[in-house]
A and B are shown apart, each in its own frame.
Chain A
Amino acid sequence: MSFTDLKKRMKKGPTEVIGIDFGKSDTKVVRLRKNGDVIVMDGAELLPALSAGGGFTLPPKLKARCAALAVSSSTATAKLLTFPGAVDAAFESSLAKNLGQDVGDDDRMAYRIITEGSARVESRVLAAAIPESDAAPVMALFQVGLPAPRSLELASLAALTAFEAGPVLHGASPAAAMIDFGTESSTLSIFHKQTLVLLRRFDFGTRKLLDRVTSTLHIDADTALNILADNAFDISELISEIMSPLSNQLIVSRDFVERRENCNLRQLHCIGGLVSSPAAMQQLERSLNIEIKSFDPFTIPGLQTDAVEDQRDGSQHWRFTAAIGAALGALQEER
């Protein structure tokens, strides 16, 4: 055994970790710990967003030695890259170029190999980049003391880890899809045979829908939110019009995957603010002709949520998807 192997062995993964999702609207915190083969959720809290000011203080019951961080950034980039051949040094050097023109020199970049290719097999790599200006304020909160940061992820990708642990690994169908409706954009991910086969981001977020409703109906944002949530007014035509470009893009993406992977997508799991709008969900269901479900990360098999079940409204569980995903990723760290 070499010294490097010994060092790796000593780097034992954590047994308890807090997942923190620094979102635009609020900060989501969950505390997970390993208990044999199951993972126990000890707590889940919504804290004010960093942008609201007032700093960041963890509730005592959510403290742990390690933290897995997820951050939302409108300027971050995440792509599923597919290219012939193996992943080599040339790929790493051209990673910024592959991620697109938005990636700057000081951006943080990282990737994970989904499928290792060879001469005749394509490689599939999940790559992400985030501007240092978005990551640095978050990392500054954890420079000293506990919890010690173990990872920093894009919230949209951290949510994939939670989704993978649920419907992807334990669902009845070999194909599973999830759309994350963010404030500024939405991210569609499709898995087939437990492998990520598509990741697309659309410039459609809840803000766009909200702005359009407020301007069309001449109402303020709070009223528009209420209308979207309680379905008191029939705004289906308006929603259909607003969501039409997104629906078309989703149909194209779904058809593309179904043809390429020779599969049939029967369900689309949703998380994000738009989940609270029944009209939007119904419109999506009609357009895609597919069952739309809200993804509840508290129902992930092997995750015990008894300690927090009575504290939270079940319809808001989706808010913790990225935080849970980040924490799960840290707990799944290889020794």
Chain B
Amino acid sequence: MSLRVNLIKEPEQRSGSSLNAKSITRIASIVMPVALALLIAQQALSSFMLSSQLSILESQWFAVEPKQKQAIKQTARLNFNKKTLEELDGWPAARLDWNQNLAAIMQAVPDTIQLTSLRVILEAPPANARPAVGSLSRDYQLSLDGVTRVPDSMQVVQALEANLRRHPILHPLIETVTVANFAADDASDDKSSRVFTIQCKFKSPPHKEMR
């Protein structure tokens, strides 16, 4: 236990340290407002710079925005035109010489058969069966409707089917030949009259590479 009985008066007592509560308070009373003012000034300057940058970027955007919209439109148009071009390119690739094919059909049809209808259906292949990008293909299907009035009409129709399959011109083109319909002719009084439908599926022509 200290026995010191201190007779000094409070105003006389000094710490002797260059750093005491009083000096810290004095320094802080100067430094803190200055630091605060500097901080506020720095924030204000930063805000001003950001604001000016924003206005510059906005003016640049206003200049660019119409061009960007125009570019989007032109891109869409370009894509549409490309598709159209592809479609148009597909046509010559899928073209068949129908003058030869029709002459071959004419030769394959027996004399006892009267064709009532010849239809050629051009179909695009289904989406999941499309060839690789850059190539085009068209599928042709030939449908022949006819009437025969002979007693052995069934054999005649089968002969037509066989002729179509074996014809030297048609043979390389045709993939399948099927008799889709063979029935009595309701429209005729002749009981031996029969109507039939033969469907020929053409092979897909060779794919053409896109430009």
The residues of A with any CB-CB pair to B shorter than 8 Å are 7, 10-12, 14, 64-67, 69, 78, 108-112, 114, 126-130, 135, 139, 142-143, 146-154, 157-158, 160-161, 164, 194-196, 326, 329-330, 332
Cβ–Cβ < 8 Å partners of A329 in chain B: 2-4
A129-B7, A161-B3, A332-B2 are known; give 14 further A-B pairs, CB within 8 A. A10-B20, A14-B17, A66-B16, A108-B9, A110-B5, A114-B3, A128-B5, A139-B9, A150-B13, A150-B15, A154-B5, A157-B3, A157-B4, A161-B2
Interchain CA distance A8-B54 in the complex, whole Å: 53
B6 interface hit (Cβ, 8 Å):
yes
The residues of B with any CB-CB pair to A shorter than 8 Å are 1-9, 12-17, 20-21, 24
Which single residue of chain B is at the shortest CB-CB distance from A111? B5
With A7-B21, A65-B17, A150-B13: A135-B5 Cβ-Cβ less than 8 Å: no
With A112-B2, A139-B12, A332-B2: A153-B7 Cβ-Cβ less than 8 Å: yes
Interchain CA distance A130-B9 in the complex, whole Å: 12
Which single residue of chain A is at the shortest CB-CB distance from B24? A10
CB distance from B33 to the nearest CB of A (A): 20
Interchain CA distance A108-B7 in the complex, whole Å: 6
Which listed residue, B2, B12, B21, touches A149 by the CB 8 Å rule? B12
Cβ–Cβ contact B7 & A14, under 8 A: no
Cβ–Cβ < 8 Å partners of B20 in chain A: 10-11
CB distance from B26 to the nearest CB of A (A): 14
Interchain CA distance A151-B3 in the complex, whole Å: 12
Interchain CA distance A148-B22 in the complex, whole Å: 15
Cβ–Cβ < 8 Å partners of A164 in chain B: 1, 3
Interchain CA distance A135-B7 in the complex, whole Å: 9
Cβ–Cβ < 8 Å partners of B17 in chain A: 12, 14, 65
With A11-B21, A161-B2, A329-B2: A151-B15 Cβ-Cβ less than 8 Å: no
Which listed residue, B9, B16, B21, B24, touches A65 by the CB 8 Å rule? B16
Interchain CA distance A12-B21 in the complex, whole Å: 10
Cβ–Cβ < 8 Å partners of A158 in chain B: 4
Cβ–Cβ < 8 Å partners of A151 in chain B: 4, 6-8, 13
Cβ–Cβ contact A128 & B7, under 8 A: yes
Which single residue of chain B is at the shortest CB-CB distance from A69? B8
Cβ–Cβ < 8 Å partners of B21 in chain A: 7, 10-11
Residue from B2, B17, B20 having most chain A Cβ neighbours under 10 A:
B2
Interchain CA distance A77-B12 in the complex, whole Å: 21
Which single residue of chain A is at the shortest CB-CB distance from B12? A139
CB distance from B176 to the nearest CB of A (A): 98
Which listed residue, A14, A127, A143, A330, touches B5 by the CB 8 Å rule? A127
Cβ–Cβ contact B5 & A196, under 8 A: no
Cβ–Cβ contact B8 & A150, under 8 A: yes
Cβ–Cβ < 8 Å partners of A128 in chain B: 5, 7
Interchain CA distance A128-B4 in the complex, whole Å: 10
Cβ–Cβ contact B2 & A154, under 8 A: no
With A7-B21, A10-B21, A11-B21: A110-B16 Cβ-Cβ less than 8 Å: no
Cβ–Cβ contact A112 & B16, under 8 A: no
Cβ–Cβ < 8 Å partners of A109 in chain B: 7
Interchain CA distance A67-B1 in the complex, whole Å: 21
What are 22 of the A-B contact pairs (CB < 8 Å)? A14-B15, A14-B16, A65-B17, A66-B15, A67-B16, A78-B5, A109-B7, A135-B7, A146-B16, A147-B16, A149-B8, A149-B14, A150-B15, A150-B16, A151-B8, A153-B6, A154-B7, A157-B5, A164-B3, A329-B4, A330-B4, A332-B2
Which single residue of chain B is at the shortest CB-CB distance from A157? B5
Interchain CA distance A64-B5 in the complex, whole Å: 22
Interchain CA distance A326-B3 in the complex, whole Å: 10
Which single residue of chain B is at the shortest CB-CB distance from A109? B7
Residue from B3, B8, B13, B14 having most chain A Cβ neighbours under 10 A:
B3
Cβ–Cβ contact A153 & B4, under 8 A: yes
Which single residue of chain A is at the shortest CB-CB distance from B9? A108
Cβ–Cβ contact B13 & A110, under 8 A: no
Which listed residue, B3, B12, B15, touches A112 by the CB 8 Å rule? B3
Residue from B5, B8, B20, B24 having most chain A Cβ neighbours under 10 A:
B5
Cβ–Cβ contact A149 & B7, under 8 A: no
Cβ–Cβ < 8 Å partners of A129 in chain B: 7
